[in-house]
Structure 1
Amino acid sequence: MQKLFSRRDVARLGLGLGAAALAGREAFAQGPAFFRIGTGGTAGTYYPVGGLIANVVSNPPNLIVTAQAANGSVANVNGIASGAIESGFSQADVAYWAYTGTGLFEGKGKVEVLRLIANLYPESIHLVASKAANIKSVADLKGKRVSLDEPGSGTLVDAKIILSGWGLTEKDIEADYLKPNQAAEKMRDGGMDAFFFVGGYPTSAIAELAATSASGIDLVPINGEGAAKIMSEYKFFAADKIPADTYKGVGEVETLAVGAQWVTSSKVPDDVVYEITKALWSDKARQALDAGHAKGKLIRKETALAGAGIPLHPGAERYYKEAGLLK
């Protein structure tokens, strides 16, 4: 059970920060004393980034923000919906599907309380192909052996959307449904032409494949008219580039990305989310993010609203208007 600070409790703290600070403390008094961020597994990216953010946005003793290990996007969205956590990290596509009751959430009802605090960093769509398969475009996947990721994954839904941008469906390819590491092993053995992966670069499975594959790998571009069509229809996608030499022997490639986003519930008080959003983009946070994790450098205020497929929380919206990012 969460403890809520009363106004008397806040006054008893006696910090003497003046009338303005007292008003801020009273705003927090209306919200939870503890604000949790659901992240991912301890070996992934969400967990350490969540810990960094929690440290810089905490405002003790009024609000203690903590990051906790979780099972990623879907689990975090469900936790927010049930009230088990106040916020969490989610891929932009998963957040959109939850809010609209589509994709992975088809038939499960809409999570209408879901609100955006900030887009954090891009999770790039990798379309990995064996050089021997000579795949230069998404259109070239026709008739090829392609893994779309396992059933129930966000990557599988994204892969189907990418195919549709070039007029293809699962029936136009020899579809397989493997995890990326399994697909990479099969490609190394000559049994797979291409596979999809959605995540931050570099990822170890692809890096190892690029370094050990006898024929080498290509990253197939996802750009041009097909990509423009997809972005116009699905607002959670954004244009992205994977830099040259991210993977051995692979040049720069244009692709799409879904954002890793920080989401919360509409039930969290506006003043609480306002102060948290303001703290996220403070100079203190900037220094910590730049120094603390490779992905931290990609968490930029300028891209805080990129790929937003769900409504902003009113508290976050207030901050972005003050910062000139929204009219």
Structure 2
Amino acid sequence: MAAVILLCFAASPLAAEQLSLFRIGTGGIGGTYYPIAGLVAQAISNPAGHCEAEEVCGVPGLVAVAQSSSGSVANVKGIAAGQIESGFVQSDVAFWAFSGVGAFEEDGRQTSLRAIANLYPESFHIVVRDESDIESVGDLAGRRVALDEAGSGTLVGAELVLEAFDLVETGVFVSYLKSDDAMEKLVTGELDAFFLIAGYPAKVIQWASEQAKIRLLPLNGPETAELVKVNPFLQLDVIPGGTYEGVRKVETLTVAAQWITRDDVSEETVYGILQALWRSDARRLLDRGHAKGRAIRLETALEGVGIPLHAGALRFYREVGVLRRRTGAPDPS
């Protein structure tokens, strides 16, 4: 889609001067990043340069597009390299990238990263077939398990879980497949389980539950408690029963999905994006479009943000008083 827009720019010198492309890196189309980013892109885009009553009114001249990718790690690298303007990223991945630790120890600190907003919680899903004898994470030893592909935040989170349950050295047969491919192999019996970190309901798991009887493995017990203790970006949560067809309530972990950009993206652009995102018309769009769209709220826009705010975001949140409410004290100038 982005390529089509760029061709349009080239064909029209006037349009090239007036329009600005703003890409949002997401994940696979079967996850939650992609549909949510599509809603956000619709909310902040306004290529016509005007706003009519009762319409979603974005930033004049801005054309935002959701761009599929391998996920959080790939989005961070794309942003840092200037290949995309922004992306959705797990909060742990954003912090590690900025600090140069964890998954980014070899790459070093990505100090150009800046936060736009905290978005919504993402849940850990570990999917198995209902008839499987796998009842807990510990039962994954010796099984065929997909951890998502390189560049995904799911892979980072899945490796944390396997390490916490001492499964790294116990013969888990790992494959690196995007959730769409993993789901198909699970349904056909070629896989025993797959991981996905996404806001529920995730499209790919909805599809899997319609094709076969599935279950979600719980993340609980002392191993999970220790995981939360040493990784403060993780929280205990529950995926409600009925979220997926025939699947009962299950205890799990969550990590925040956050929207990040680069420090050299203009202050006016990010400021305008946030003005558009928190308008009432954008609110209606988010509420109608996806269950996790309803979780994107101004009052939680700074929760769990572990990297510096972009200058445009800092300006916006100061003006609307969110920084004061967050800290309980006047925001320092």
**Same-fold status (TM-score > 0.5):** yes
Q: Deviations over 1:256-308 (max 9, x none)?
A: 23333211223445565455435433434322322344432221224323443
Counterpart mapping for 1:158-197 below 5 A:
158-166=157-165, 168-179=166-177, 180-197=179-196
Q: RMSD between aligned alpha carbons?
A: 3.2
Cα shift at 1:245: 1.3
SS state at 1:198 partner: strand
Deviations 1:32-73 (A, max 9, x none): 99472423479532541232331367443xxx4331343434
**Letter aligned with residue 38 of structure 1:** I
The CA distance in 2 between the partners of 1:232 and 1:262, in whole Å, is 25
Contact preservation (8 Å) 2:219, 2:251: yes
Decide whether the 8 Å contact of 2:79 with 2:261 is kept in 1: yes
| Partner secondary structure for residue 327 of structure 2 | coil
Aligned residue number for residue 54 of structure 1: 44
Does the CA-based 8 Å contact 1:274-1:319 persist in structure 2? yes
Which residue in 2 is equivalent to 1:325? 326
Between the aligned partners of 1:226 and 1:41, the Cα distance in structure 2 is 28
- 2:106 maps to amino acid: G
Match of 2:90 in 1: 91
Code of the residue aligned with 1:39 in structure 2: it is G
Pairwise mapping of residues 15-54 of structure 1 onto structure 2 (< 5 A)?
A: 34=20, 36-40=22-26, 43=29, 44-54=34-44
Deviation at 1:112, TM superposition (A): 0.7
Q: Does 1:150 align with 2:140?
A: no
How much does 1:159 deviate? 0.7
Q: Larger deviation: 99-108 or 112-121?
A: 99-108
Write the letter of the residue equivalent to 2:98: Y
Please name the residue that 1:264 is paired with.
261
Q: CA–CA distance in 1 between the matches of 2:254 and 2:201?
A: 14
User: What is the SS of the residue equivalent to 1:38?
Assistant: strand
Aligned equivalent of 1:247, options 233, 244, 249: 244
* 1:15-47 CA distance string (max 9 Å, x none): xxxxxxxxxxxxxxxxx9947242347953254
Distance across 2 between alignment mates of 1:155 and 1:94: 10
Runs of 4+ in structure 1 deviating by more than 6 angstroms, as ranges, are none
Structure 2 gap ranges (5+):
1-17, 46-55, 329-333
What SS does the aligned partner of 1:186 have? helix
2:284 corresponds to which residue? Answer: 287
**Displacement of 1:172 after TM fit?**
1.9
Residue 89 to residue 210, structure 1, CA distance change in 2 (3 Å): closer
Q: What do residues 174-232 of structure 1 show as CA deviations (whole Å, max 9, x unaligned)?
A: 2221423333333334443322112233334433333333xx32211223543343233
Matches for 1:294-305 after TM superposition, within 5 Å: 294-305=291-302
Please report the TM-score for the alignment, with normalisation by the length of structure 2: 0.72
Distance 1:112 1:235, change over 3 A: farther
CA distance in 2, matches of 1:257, 1:156: 14
Q: Give the distance between the partners of 1:35 and 1:238, measured in 2 at CA.
A: 35
Cα separation, 2, equivalents of 1:231 and 1:281:
31
Secondary structure of 2:162's partner?
A: helix
**Equivalent pair of 1:46/1:89 in contact (CA under 8 Å):** no
In 2, are the aligned partners of 1:96 and 1:236 still within 8 Å (CA)?
no
The equivalent residue for 1:232 is: 229
Q: Which amino acid aligns with 1:281?
A: W
Report 1:200-211 matches (<5 A). 200-211=199-210
> In structure 2, do the counterparts of structure 1 residues 318 and 255 end up closer, same or farther at CA, with 3 Å as the change threshold?
farther
Please say if residues 75 and 88 of structure 2, whose CA atoms lie closer than 8 Å, have aligned partners that are also in contact.
yes
Alignment of 1:208-223 (within 5 A): 208-213=207-212, 216-223=213-220
The CA distance in 2 between the partners of 1:85 and 1:149, in whole Å, is: 22
Count of equivalent residues: 290
Deviation per residue, 1:110-129 (Å, 9 max, x gap): 21111111111233211112
The answer to whether the Cα contact below 8 Å between 2:87 and 2:261 also exists between their aligned partners in 1 is: yes
Alignment partners' CA distance in 2, 1:226 and 1:318: 41
Cα distance in 1 between the residues matched to 2:282 and 2:238: 26
Query: Does structure 2 conserve the Cα–Cα contact (< 8 Å) formed by 1:52 and 1:292?
Result: no
Give the TM-score, by structure 1 length: 0.74
Greater Rg, structure 1 or structure 2? 1
Q: Distance in 1 between matches of 2:224 and 2:303?
A: 16
User: Cα deviations across residues 72-97 of structure 1 (Å, max 9, x unaligned)?
Assistant: 34454334323455433323343233
1:131-146 to 2 correspondences below 5 Å:
131-146=130-145
